[in-house]
Amino acid sequence: QVQLVESGGGLVQAGDSLTLSCAASGRTFSHYAMGWLRQAPGKERDFVATITRSGESTYSADSLKGRFTISRDNAKNTLYLQMNSLKPEDTAVYYCAARLYFTSFNTNSYEYWGAGTQVTVSS
């Protein structure tokens, strides 16, 4: 089992920046590819970004490239999402998720999920 706890969400204004964190515990963090996904009200859960086990490679949704950056610190068992130039359409619950070994763009392929953290961007 992998336990994931997100933090860092909140209410911000358009144009602001925010960094989300996800603390992992349980099994060996570096064995898992990690991802950030989000779900806006009334919408399906969407892929945001994913990162390889070592952190050497990252992949982001095309619409978010240049604004959102995923990173990890395996020594601290922590995943991050740096979000810049936030827009009202970024309002969503943000989830971190873990998948053994390999990255994935498929939101349904992640094995472990956190409870999510709310990000609200006002205009």
What is the DSSP track for 52-94?
Answer: -SSSS-EEE-GGGTTTEEEEEETTTTEEEEEE-S--GGG-EEE
pLDDT in tens, 105-117: 898 999 999 999 9
pLDDT in tens, 58-94: 999 999 988 999 999 999 999 999 999 999 999 999 9
Instruction: Work out the number of other CB atoms within 10 angstroms of the CB of residue 43.
Output: 9
**Across-strand partners of 120?**
11
3-state secondary structure of 15: coil
User: How far is residue 123 from each of residues 6, 12, 24, 38, measured CA to CA in Å?
Assistant: 24, 9, 33, 19
- Quick one: pLDDT band at residue 2, thresholds 50, 70, 90? very high
**What is the total residue count of the chain?**
123
Nearest to 37 by CA among 29, 50, 46: 46
